[in-house]
Amino acid sequence: MKTKTTTKITQPSTLVRFYDRYTQILETKEPTRTMRLTNLMDDLEQVYFIPMRRNKMFGQINTRAMHLYWAVSRARNLEGIIDE
């Protein structure tokens, strides 16, 4: 009897496409830029099942996806949204 092999839901090319999308978004002007970055974060969360709260083990297993996720997060302009 053959055993069923499982494949990862996401392939490296998926992350490359997300990175390409990120670099394209960086060229747009505000406020569209931040809205698109937020949408990109939502998409990353859905595809990579990124937890709402920081999870050290998840970050160690999904290093590349988390590096991109945090880069996208830092690139947003939240001025006027978050009270300091």
Domain annotation covers residue 59: yes
Domain annotation covers residue 3: no
Q: Structurally, how many domains does the chain consist of? A: 1
Report the alpha-carbon distance of residue 77 to residue 55 in Å, rounded: 24
What range does the domain containing 55 cover? 13-75
Report the alpha-carbon distance of residue 80 to residue 77 in Å, rounded: 9
- Residue 3 pLDDT: 53
Which tens digits make up the pLDDT trace of 12-70? 588 999 999 999 999 999 999 999 999 999 999 999 999 888 888 888 888 899 999 99
- Its pTM stands at 0.74
